[in-house]
Homo-oligomer: A and B are copies of this chain.
């Protein structure tokens, strides 16, 4: 029997893997050979899931909570999230508008699938989280990458929306704080973008998955300004539940039924033990742990940021949240991929080259993640100093 032709959908040509995976694999090989590597590339905090959530997870198993939940999630968890918006943000969000998803990934997937017809455009910042454009492409939409730089804190602005919004534009997407830059969208800009998308019969999609991790101000949810926005959030980053795969959408009321229907068909439901565990995420004792961790992240940033600047990396905008620093590395090498290779080989320091975040000047940038303890950051900086000074 002959081998059949390999028919792979055209979209796959536009969907890139996480390029850092190759570098990570090389790092692992070096480690297997006995070398110690300092990991400044990993976008996953080293902290374990907070104990009250673990305890609730163990109790969920003990109580036999292993069957399907409703497609939109456990009613008690939707209520708990509504309570969090009320208590922490002073914002009234009906639990009916909250849809529990398998990670923020599942949330992005549902929102794009519900919004996009083939050819529909979504405006987004470049650099940005690469999966965003891939979600759009997956559903045959067109991601319009808007090059952004330090002048707008690497964020979209209302002016970008005005100049780039076209006939086929149906949504714009922002992340605040953003990956890879850690910058926020200022409140006034957010309001103007909400007004603008509404006026154009479009939608703003706001990724707030790093929302709990903001160091200088309290972050303001876009839900404080609008009921017509899509907000994406997650238990992964701030709540320390990466591997549990749990996130949520707050959707405008008119989209809830369509999203429910799609979630039934595409996911059935989010993982049940994770949903029960997450019920403990908003308890005071958990929030106390999380706020202590936020302080630890702040200290790491406050160490790493000036240290990298002193080494000569260009960081014109202070990252205010998440656990990333996006740095201009062109003074060391015009090719950030080559630089990342050299840093790994010569210094034993892993960083993420800009290529993983888009096509606007990736070769001039690398991303540092401060997901590891401060001692490791110190050693990383010391190693970098030895070869870059």
Is A58 among interface residues, defined by CB-CB distance under 8 A?
A: yes
Known: A48-B64, A64-B48, A271-B271. A115 touches B242 (CB 8 A): no
* Interchain CA distance A56-B7 in the complex, whole Å: 39
- Number of A positions contacting B (CB below 8 A): 83
Interface string of A103-116 (1 = CB under 8 A from B): 10110010001111
Which residues from B are CB-within-8-Å of A57?
61, 273
* Interchain CA distance A245-B73 in the complex, whole Å: 13
Cross-chain contact B115 with A8 (CB below 8 angstroms): yes
Is A88 among interface residues, defined by CB-CB distance under 8 A?
A: no
Interface string of A186-214 (1 = CB under 8 A from B): 00000000010111011100000000000
Cross-chain contact B9 with A114 (CB below 8 angstroms): yes
* Interchain CA distance A156-B264 in the complex, whole Å: 25
Chain B residue nearest to A246 in the complex (CB): B271
Cross-chain contact B44 with A265 (CB below 8 angstroms): no
Which residues from B are CB-within-8-Å of A62?
58
Stretch at the interface among A31-39, A130-138, A294-302, A379-387: A130-138
Chain B residue nearest to A43 in the complex (CB): B68
Cross-chain contact A4 with B266 (CB below 8 angstroms): no
Which residues from B are CB-within-8-Å of A69?
243
Interface set, chain A 222-257, CB cutoff 8 A to B: 228, 240-245, 252, 254-255
Interface string of A357-373 (1 = CB under 8 A from B): 00000000000000000
Which residues from B are CB-within-8-Å of A343?
none
Which residues from B are CB-within-8-Å of A332?
none
Which residues from B are CB-within-8-Å of A266?
105, 109, 131, 134-135, 138
Which residues from B are CB-within-8-Å of A109?
266
Cross-chain contact B202 with A262 (CB below 8 angstroms): no
* Interchain CA distance A258-B49 in the complex, whole Å: 31
Which residues from B are CB-within-8-Å of A17?
260-261, 264
Interface string of A123-164 (1 = CB under 8 A from B): 000000011001100111000000000000000000000000
Chain B residue nearest to A270 in the complex (CB): B245
Which residues from B are CB-within-8-Å of A264?
17-18, 21
Cross-chain contact A131 with B265 (CB below 8 angstroms): yes
Is A16 among interface residues, defined by CB-CB distance under 8 A?
A: yes
* 13 further interface pairs, Cβ-Cβ under 8 Å (given A57-B61, A58-B62, A244-B272): A4-B203, A12-B261, A44-B68, A57-B273, A66-B240, A66-B242, A69-B243, A135-B266, A138-B262, A245-B267, A271-B274, A273-B273, A273-B274
Q: 8 nearest interchain CB pairs? A: A243-B272, A5-B201, A17-B261, A134-B265, A6-B254, A4-B198, A49-B66, A245-B271
